[in-house]
């Protein structure tokens, strides 16, 4: 039975140092274990920057399909995911790090006739702010796994992580008689994801009991969720929850999802200390890019296979 509920996620003030034994760390720890979602505040990204990205995105997604399709999925650039791949309502543009400027510029060069440097400059600013935030958040999340985990493993395991951004436009549904899914149930292929959703709401996370829980937008905060790579690395001490987007109003919805991932050739294996004595290992070691390929190996334009997770790929106990 799937029903709906509301929940108050913990809000982490990312501008403040987190004390090892504080109540903030324990509520964060609980959230990462149970739901894999929390909010951050005081992240330093101005409303002005969001307004600019939104305006540029509205312009970009309003271009004719024949123009947008030059960016993918069947062209050489492959930064654009058109409607009907993830869902009839979903389209997105990908901007990849670490050089966000040149990634954005190569898309802009195809879309716009004249050189359009504002587009790449704004995305450079956002990409570098998200990169710094991701590093900070990974350190904090590792602290929830035990006193020494961050100190022992951040440099050796997480130093080469990289990020990419997906700018998403959900078109307005014409009829709202039934629940309209803008993006179907999935887990993220990242270590963690930082999400900005606009004031429309519609993001939902699936609880352990199979209930859909609304993650309501909250001005000035961003949503962080744990992805499959961190779920596997932590031997499931951290949860990467299934989530989806439901469109509730006859309006466009705009979101920005930033995915922070291990480097492609990294072998993901939970350290013994993280698995813990007496616990069995849940995942066999796997190469990061092999998992990404597994998720992207569907027929429809190399977008993510929705509904498959890292358990299906490398789970020891769960493999069929």
Ligand X SMILES: O=C(O)CCC(=O)C(=O)O
List C-alpha distances in Å: 23 to 12, 27, 133, 305.
11, 6, 22, 38
Which of the ranges 38-46, 65-73, 188-196, 304-312 carries the binding residues for Fe ion, by CB under 5 A? 188-196
Which of the ranges 73-81, 180-188, 201-209, 227-235 carries the binding residues for Fe ion, by CB under 5 A? 180-188
Backbone angles phi, psi at 6, to 5 degrees: -115, 150
Q: Could you tell me if 79 and 73 are in contact, meaning their C-beta atoms sit under 8 angstroms apart?
A: no
Select the binding partner of residue 195 from ligand X, Fe ion, none (C-beta < 5 to 8 A, by kind).
ligand X
Q: Which is nearer to ligand X, 183 or 270 (CB)?
A: 183
Contacts of 191 (CB under 8 A, 6+ apart): 138, 158, 161, 226, 227, 229, 230, 233, 260, 261, 262
Q: Which is nearer to Fe ion, 161 or 306 (CB)?
A: 306
Q: Which is nearer to ligand X, 244 or 275 (CB)?
A: 244
* Start-end of H helices in 144-168: 149-153
Select the binding partner of residue 94 from Fe ion, ligand X, none (C-beta < 5 to 8 A, by kind).
none
Contact residues: ligand X, CB under 6 A: 166, 168, 183, 188, 195, 197, 203, 243, 245, 255, 257
Q: Which residue's CB comes closest to Fe ion?
A: 188
Closest CA to 242 of 161, 163, 310, 314: 310
Written as six digits, the tokens of 177 are 């008689």
Backbone angles phi, psi at 254, to 5 degrees: -125, 135
Find the binder of Fe ion among 181, 188, 228, 242 (CB under 5 A). 188
Backbone angles phi, psi at 27, to 5 degrees: -75, -30
Least Cβ distance, residue 307 to ligand X (angstroms)? 13
Q: Which is nearer to ligand X, 182 or 236 (CB)?
A: 182
The answer to the question of residue 242 lying near Fe ion (CB under 5 A) is: no
Q: Which is nearer to ligand X, 188 or 228 (CB)?
A: 188
Select the binding partner of residue 168 from ligand X, Fe ion, none (C-beta < 5 to 8 A, by kind).
ligand X
Q: Which is nearer to ligand X, 39 or 166 (CB)?
A: 166
Q: Which is nearer to ligand X, 235 or 308 (CB)?
A: 308
Angle of helix 117-143 relative to helix 100-111, nearest 10 degrees? 140
Which of the ranges 138-146, 186-194, 263-271, 278-286 carries the binding residues for Fe ion, by CB under 5 A? 186-194
Contacts of 111 (CB under 8 A, 6+ apart): 60, 63, 67, 68, 70, 71
Q: Which residue's CB comes closest to ligand X?
A: 255
Least Cβ distance, residue 70 to ligand X (angstroms)? 22
Contact set with Fe ion (CB under 5 A) = 188
């Amino acid at each position: 039975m799937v029903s709906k509920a509301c929940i108050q996620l913990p809000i982490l003030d990312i501008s403040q140092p987190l004390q090892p034994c504080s109540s903030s760390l324990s509520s964060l720890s609980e959230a990462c274990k149970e739901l894999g979602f929390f909010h951050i505040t005081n992240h330093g990204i101005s409303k002005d920057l969001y307004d600019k990205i939104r305006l540029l995105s509205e312009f970009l997604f309003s271009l004719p399909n024949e123009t947008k399709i030059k960016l993918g999925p069947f062209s050489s650039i492959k930064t654009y995911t058109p409607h009907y791949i993830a869902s009839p309502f979903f389209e997105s543009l990908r901007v990849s790090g670490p050089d966000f400027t040149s990634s954005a510029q190569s898309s802009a060069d195809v879309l716009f006739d004249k050189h359009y440097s504002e587009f790449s400059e704004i995305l450079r600013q956002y990409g570098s702010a998200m990169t710094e935030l991701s590093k900070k958040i990974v350190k904090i999340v590792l602290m929830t796994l035990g006193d020494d985990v961050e100190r022992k493993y951040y440099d050796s395991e997480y130093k080469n992580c990289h990020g990419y951004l997906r700018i998403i436009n959900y078109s307005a549904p014409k009829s709202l008689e039934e629940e309209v899914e803008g993006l179907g149930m999935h887990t993220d292929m990242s270590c963690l994801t930082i999400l900005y959703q606009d004031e429309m709401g519609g993001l939902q996370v699936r609880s352990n009991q199979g209930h859909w829980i609304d993650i309501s937008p909250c001005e000035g905060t961003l949503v962080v969720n744990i992805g499959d790579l961190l779920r596997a690395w932590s031997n499931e001490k951290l949860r990467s929850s299934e989530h989806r987007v439901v469109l509730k109003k006859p309006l466009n919805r705009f979101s920005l999802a930033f995915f922070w991932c291990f480097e492609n050739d990294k072998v993901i294996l939970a350290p013994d200390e993280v698995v813990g004595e007496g616990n069995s290992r849940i995942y066999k070691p796997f190469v990061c890019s092999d998992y990404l390929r597994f998720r992207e190996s569907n027929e429809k334009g190399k977008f993510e296979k929705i509904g498959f997770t890292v358990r299906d790929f490398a789970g020891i106990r769960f493999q069929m």
